[in-house]
Structure 1
Amino acid sequence: MLGGVTALILAAAGCAPAAPQAGGASGSAALEVADTAPGDITPFCPAEPTKVMYVKSAGGHVWEAISHAEFAADAAKCPTVEESWYNGTSGQQGAIAATNAAVAQGAKVMVISPDFGDSQLPSMRKAMQAGVQVVSTVNDVNGQKGVDYVESLVWDTKAIGEKQAEWLATNVKTGKVAFLGGQPGAPSTQKTFDAFKEALGRLAPQIQLVPDTWVATNWDAGQKRRAVAGLLAQNGDYAAFVSDYGASDVGAVQAILDAKAPMPAFLNIGSSQAFVCLVQQHNIPWLGQDGTTRLSAASLRIGLAALAGKPSPEPVPYELMVYADTAAGKTPTCDPSVTPDADLSSSLSVEALKAVLGGT
């Protein structure tokens, strides 16, 4: 789908592949101390031609494209690795069918974002039983390590929630906050919200969560605009909005502007240049934690390490970096040369992001 950008991405990464290592051992062996650095795939490049696949079935389309590009860029550093991507729109059954098809086609490593929760576990378990090294990512499911996947790599929701609650307590102090999430029942939103709610009650008790649950918006800017308009009409002004996909928060900002309401603070993960530019244009208080698109490549490194029977040095869970903190004077630059959809917290160069997203 990304039409020949892999070579550009690899060139921009400026990293030539190291000599392949012998692999093929089961990832179930007891592995103790890693002797390689996190972020380096080359020690795990297999000696034999190896198919790897990334399965992502729901979420922001731009996020998915960048996430796959990160996966492809890391895979390209191994000359023996052939990567593919399933970016599905046919729901739960499509994700399960894609997993089963990858097994039949000889994939040895699969990175799967189980966007439909535990319903995807049987197909993941079947893949593991067929000898595929499955790494679950983004969405935390109730699977068993070593049975349903070799590892589950998700962002550290406790760390995210605590940073957000501390920031609200220090910089906002009082008022209402709402949490804007993804599709109804999205496991990643639920876990991120639960961590935020717990931290809010403990660290920022003067901030009122209204409503007391998260608001489904399908990570879509248009739906966020409508949802926030409804929240403002029902509950009045808000002090802050929290979300697990900041790129679509442009819709929430537009709803505030439509209503001519006071501009609240925004606390989110997974941003975009469009949101960065809105922050600067409207002087929006913002705490952004990011680097979410990097999970796919980290998951691939974990899967290849398991295939080689080697320990992975990748941190689990994955702690996001503080990308923006306007209260501390840390604000990304609005770059008009970059497509508004680009997330510059990605590890990819600006040139590679332009190629992925069709920017000028």
Structure 2
Amino acid sequence: MCGTKPMIVGVSDGYGGNTWRKTGLAEVKDELSRCKNVTRVIYSNANGDPQKANSDINSMVAQGINVLILLPDFGAVQLPAMRAAMKAGVAVVPYSAQMTGTPGRDYVVNVVGDTQQIGVLWADWLGTTLKKGNVVFMGGSPGATTSQNFMDGLRGGLKKYPDLKLLNEQYIVTNWNPVDAQKATVGLIAQYPKIDAIVTDGGETALAAVKAFEQAHLPVPAIATIASDNQVNCHYMSAKQSGKPYPYYTLDGTTTYVRFAVRQGVAAYQGTVNKESPSILPFAYADSAKGLDPKCDPTAPPDADLTSALPPQKLKAVFER
């Protein structure tokens, strides 16, 4: 897949700096280490500024990148810069966020988790473990396509389980922010006298929901989520060890999505073959119904993702940065 042409690879982040993003960058470099014809890796972090994100891409193109891997945090706003890079002959691959735009013109391919199928996996877990009760889905920011797709998959999956009722027509907005998520959960507790399961599209949201129930001195409902982190998993293990376990299911391995993006980009630029699907299914990392416990590492950062594909020493090095 590496081909023979020398290549410079650009990696563009909209919000860099947290442990998940640092892990992703390390995964890029680890994946590219297999290709001896990579001459340079250029990294940019827009620090939450969409204008800088676009100028970063333009700057990398000017520096001669051949492959661009990016997490398009700002959505369609980034399409013009991506399209210009493609016109300049760069193989552009956005990952982890679903993009509008046209494959082949605005980017090579969009590498994302199969949100619909993930929603179905959550529904199947609830259907087999909980069997009946009231379910709430908590998403991210208003209008987030990924949250809507997750919810659509969950809603569709729950049709097989008529004794499970989805209480909310629209996903609960949390902005993927623990403070907002905790406030939203407090509101849900006040609104619905009985909540048997909470499904979220992020580990931080899941932990905020758990804490809201604990602070209200209520039993924690079943929790199904994706992209957990060290903090939420340590909290679950602590609750289990103290004799207050709650049903818990999380799908993980999301830092590895970038490796799929790298392989797609390299193959597109080199003209080599990559038959992998751009639609990825994460794996079950914790499943209380099957006795599958997540790992908790008190020495790792709270937001560390221990489901990375990095070798242990390389992952430890990420945490020490």
Give the TM-score normalised by the residue count of structure 2.
0.90
**CA spacing shift, 1:338–1:100, aligned 2, 3 Å:** same
Displacement of 1:45 in angstroms is 5.5
Two-structure CA RMSD over aligned residues (Å): 2.2
- Distance in 2 (CA, whole Å) between partners of 1:113 and 1:69 is 14
Displacement of 1:57 in angstroms is 1.7
Q: Which residue of 2 aligns with 1:115?
A: 73
Q: Kindly provide the amino acid, as one letter, of the partner of residue 266 in structure 1.
A: I
Whether the 8 Å contact between 2:3 and 2:272 is mirrored in structure 1 is no
Q: Which residue of 1 aligns with 2:29?
A: 72
Whether the 8 Å contact between 1:113 and 1:139 is mirrored in structure 2 is yes
Pairing 1:206–2:168 present: no
Deviates more, 1:292-301 or 1:326-335: 326-335
Pairing 1:219–2:176 present: yes
Q: Kindly provide the amino acid, as one letter, of the partner of residue 272 in structure 2.
A: K
**CA spacing shift, 1:338–1:331, aligned 2, 3 Å:** same
Pairing 1:169–2:127 present: yes
Q: Which residue of 1 aligns with 2:118?
A: 160
- Distance in 2 (CA, whole Å) between partners of 1:203 and 1:262 is 26
Pairing 1:302–2:264 present: yes
Pairing 1:257–2:219 present: no
Unaligned runs of 5+ in 2: 240-244
Unaligned runs of 5+ in 1: 1-42
Whether the 8 Å contact between 1:115 and 1:187 is mirrored in structure 2 is no
| Aligned with residue 52 of structure 1, among 9, 19, 44 | 9
**CA spacing shift, 1:55–1:178, aligned 2, 3 Å:** farther
Displacement of 1:241 in angstroms is 1.4
- Distance in 1 (CA, whole Å) between partners of 2:316 and 2:304 is 8
Q: Secondary structure at the match of 1:134?
A: strand
Pairing 1:326–2:288 present: yes
1:159-217 CA-to-partner distances (Å, cap 9, x unmatched) read 211111111111112222222222333332232222222222x2233323232212222
Displacement of 1:97 in angstroms is 2.3
Displacement of 1:294 in angstroms is 0.4
| Aligned with residue 341 of structure 1, among 303, 308, 311 | 303
Q: Secondary structure at the match of 1:152?
A: coil
- Distance in 1 (CA, whole Å) between partners of 2:249 and 2:167 is 20
- Distance in 2 (CA, whole Å) between partners of 1:190 and 1:58 is 22
Q: Which residue of 2 aligns with 1:234?
A: 191
Whether the 8 Å contact between 1:138 and 1:188 is mirrored in structure 2 is no
Q: Kindly provide the amino acid, as one letter, of the partner of residue 279 in structure 1.
A: Y
Give the TM-score normalised by the residue count of structure 1.
0.81
- Distance in 1 (CA, whole Å) between partners of 2:152 and 2:247 is 23
**CA spacing shift, 1:60–1:207, aligned 2, 3 Å:** farther
Whether the 8 Å contact between 1:285 and 1:326 is mirrored in structure 2 is yes
Displacement of 1:115 in angstroms is 2.5
Whether the 8 Å contact between 1:161 and 1:195 is mirrored in structure 2 is yes
Q: Kindly provide the amino acid, as one letter, of the partner of residue 100 in structure 2.
A: N
| Aligned with residue 142 of structure 2, among 184, 209, 214 | 184
Displacement of 1:60 in angstroms is 9.3
Whether the 8 Å contact between 2:199 and 2:206 is mirrored in structure 1 is no
- Distance in 2 (CA, whole Å) between partners of 1:186 and 1:76 is 34
1:33-52 to structure 2, matched below 5 A, reads: 43-44=1-2, 46-48=4-6, 50-52=7-9
Whether the 8 Å contact between 1:180 and 1:244 is mirrored in structure 2 is yes
Aligned pair count reads: 315
Q: Which residue of 2 aligns with 1:9?
A: none
Q: Which residue of 2 aligns with 1:61?
A: 18
**CA spacing shift, 1:216–1:72, aligned 2, 3 Å:** farther
Deviates more, 1:218-227 or 1:305-314: 218-227
Displacement of 1:152 in angstroms is 1.3
Pairing 1:132–2:94 present: no
Q: Which residue of 1 aligns with 2:53?
A: 95
Q: Secondary structure at the match of 2:41?
A: strand
Displacement of 1:300 in angstroms is 0.8
